[in-house]
Amino acid sequence: MFDPDDLTAARNLLAALRARRLMMCTAESCTGGLIAGLLTEIPGSSDAFDRGFVTYSNGAKCDLLGVPATLIGRYGSVSAEVALAMAGGAIRASTANLSVAVTGVAGPGGGTPEKPVGLVHLAAKRRGQHPLHTVLNLGDIGRSAIRMETVRVALQLCHQALVDTDPAAATGGP
Chain center to CA of 131: 11
Look up the CATH architecture of domain 4-166.
Alpha-Beta Complex (3.90)
Please report the DSSP string for 38-80 in residue order. Answer: HHHTSTTGGGTEEEEEE--SHHHHHHHH---HHHHHHH-SSSH
**What SS3 state is found at 1?**
coil
Which secondary-structure segment (H or E) carries 101? strand 98-104
Kindly report the pTM of this predicted structure: 0.94
φ, ψ of residue 34 to 5 degrees: the values are -65, -35
Q: List pLDDT tens digits, range 1-53.
A: 899 999 999 999 999 999 999 999 999 999 999 999 999 999 999 999 999 99
Mean pLDDT of the chain: 94
Q: List pLDDT tens digits, range 3-12.
A: 999 999 999 9
